[in-house]
């Protein structure tokens, strides 16, 4: 999650402009449609040999893939929840797990390159490594911002905070799994339909809830720059991200600029994470006299594996309720969200 990959991103704090330097990219995200190629992604295994073994990386992706796989395939996540996925280096033992995989799903957009590289070096010759984000989003719609500057070459990778993009991930997964395991292709498609219907429902509730948040208050200052694609989709503005960082904190000047901006724009609340406490954000909240809510998450699912809330949909519902409520909107439609038609999640989530 937090600690960024390049020095300037490490302690990024910002003010004044929108999260992305490129309004055309924001516009492209706002008009996102899952590409037609998502429905035909993947290829057949030369020798289908029984139950499909699937390996994934971060927990939201594990959950999305598990919602498609149901009980027809084995799904194992690799990156432990509560770990900084941006800097995660897989254990050497992960090579053995990857060597047994039929399909490896990663996010791509350079989020988990060490894991992707380890997978590419170790998977069997008839296995496939699939970059969901790279297949879902055209390069021209990648968002770069202060935490993920274009000069650093690593786009903001958090596509899953945008529900239509998560539905696209699932569409790709259903195609890849169905082509690798034709005997269960119709199961994967049926599971996909249930998941996409639930994502659409949540998305519509969030559109309705956004309308209840006063225009000027649809703003995010967060512990981590994970909501750029979310913001572009719902028409919110990311005014800053203050990363947890062991090396350096934002400069006093950057902090002062954020405090001024929060006061000027009358932002009612700023957001941190339970998993990555941010003393700097807490301090900014005190100085600017706004609420500091420390319960957002981006790749750490709520509850424990096996709980219904421990899921991609549970994660998004929790974040959306938290944001809408704290920023003065009515979150009741989101609170009432109770998806049906989702298959039980049997994936393994390392903790």
Which residues lie near Zn ion (CB under 5 A)? Answer: 1, 226, 298
Q: Which residue is nearest to Zn ion (CB)?
A: 1
Report the residue number, 57 or 184, with the smaller CB distance to Zn ion.
57
| Contact of 262 with 284, CB cutoff 8 Å | yes
Work out how close the CB of 225 gets to Zn ion at its nearest, in angstroms, rounded to a whole number.
8
Question: What residues contact 279, with CB distance under 8 A and at least 6 apart?
Answer: none
What are residue 338's DSSP bridge partners?
none
Report the residue number, 55 or 226, with the smaller CB distance to Zn ion.
226
Work out how close the CB of 114 gets to Zn ion at its nearest, in angstroms, rounded to a whole number.
15
What 3-state class would DSSP assign to 295?
A: strand
- Which candidate, 34, 317, 66, places its Cα nearest to that of 164? 34
Q: Which two tokens stand for residue 164?
A: 């239509």
| Contact of 235 with 186, CB cutoff 8 Å | no
In angstroms, the CA 84 to CA 282 distance is 20
Work out how close the CB of 286 gets to Zn ion at its nearest, in angstroms, rounded to a whole number.
25
Report the residue number, 220 or 226, with the smaller CB distance to Zn ion.
226
Work out how close the CB of 156 gets to Zn ion at its nearest, in angstroms, rounded to a whole number.
9
In angstroms, the CA 130 to CA 106 distance is 6
Burial class (CB in 10 A: 0-12, 13-18, 19+), 89: exposed
- Termini Cα distance of the chain: 15
In angstroms, the CA 131 to CA 169 distance is 9
C-alpha gyration radius of the chain: 20
What 3-state class would DSSP assign to 122?
A: helix
Report the residue number, 225 or 345, with the smaller CB distance to Zn ion.
225
Work out how close the CB of 12 gets to Zn ion at its nearest, in angstroms, rounded to a whole number.
13
Report the residue number, 226 or 238, with the smaller CB distance to Zn ion.
226
How many beta carbons lie within 10 A of that of residue 247, not counting itself?
9
Work out how close the CB of 2 gets to Zn ion at its nearest, in angstroms, rounded to a whole number.
7
Report the residue number, 226 or 228, with the smaller CB distance to Zn ion.
226
Work out how close the CB of 188 gets to Zn ion at its nearest, in angstroms, rounded to a whole number.
28
Report the residue number, 52 or 136, with the smaller CB distance to Zn ion.
136
Report the residue number, 188 or 229, with the smaller CB distance to Zn ion.
229
In angstroms, the CA 344 to CA 69 distance is 10
Work out how close the CB of 157 gets to Zn ion at its nearest, in angstroms, rounded to a whole number.
7
**To 5 degrees, how large is the angle CA 66–CA 124–CA 128?**
45
């Amino acid at each position: 999650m937090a600690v960024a990959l390049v020095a300037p991103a490490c302690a990024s704090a910002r003010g004044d402009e929108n999260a992305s330097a490129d309004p055309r990219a924001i516009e492209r995200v706002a008009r996102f449609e899952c590409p037609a190629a998502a429905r035909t992604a993947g290829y057949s295994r030369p020798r289908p040999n029984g139950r499909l073994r699937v390996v994934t990386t971060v927990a939201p992706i594990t959950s999305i893939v598990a919602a498609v796989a149901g009980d027809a395939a084995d799904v194992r996540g690799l990156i432990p929840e509560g770990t900084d996925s941006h800097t995660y280096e897989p254990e050497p033992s992960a090579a053995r797990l990857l060597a047994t995989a039929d399909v490896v799903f990663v996010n791509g957009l350079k989020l988990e390159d060490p894991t992707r590289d380890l997978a590419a070096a170790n998977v069997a010759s008839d296995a496939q490594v699939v970059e969901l984000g790279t297949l879902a989003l055209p390069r021209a719609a990648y968002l770069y911002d202060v935490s993920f500057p274009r000069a650093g070459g690593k786009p903001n990778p958090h596509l899953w905070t945008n529900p239509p993009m998560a539905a696209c991930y699932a569409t790709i997964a259903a195609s890849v799994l169905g082509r690798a395991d034709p005997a269960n292709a119709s199961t994967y498609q049926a599971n996909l339909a249930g998941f996409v219907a639930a994502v659409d429902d949540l998305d519509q509730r969030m559109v309705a809830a956004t309308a209840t948040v006063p225009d000027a208050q649809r703003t995010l200052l967060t512990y981590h720059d994970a909501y750029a694609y979310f913001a572009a989709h719902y028409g919110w503005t990311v005014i800053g991200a203050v990363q947890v960082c062991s090396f350096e904190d934002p400069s006093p000047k950057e902090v002062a600029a954020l405090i001024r901006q929060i006061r000027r724009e009358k932002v009612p609340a700023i957001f941190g994470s339970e998993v990555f406490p941010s003393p700097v954000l807490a301090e900014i909240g005190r100085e600017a006299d706004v609420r500091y809510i420390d319960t957002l998450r981006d790749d750490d699912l709520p509850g424990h594996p096996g709980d219904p809330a421990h899921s991609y949909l549970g994660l998004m519902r929790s974040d959306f309720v938290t944001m809408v409520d704290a920023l003065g909107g009515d979150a009741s439609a989101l609170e009432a969200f109770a998806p049906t038609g989702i298959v039980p999640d049997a994936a393994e989530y390392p903790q």
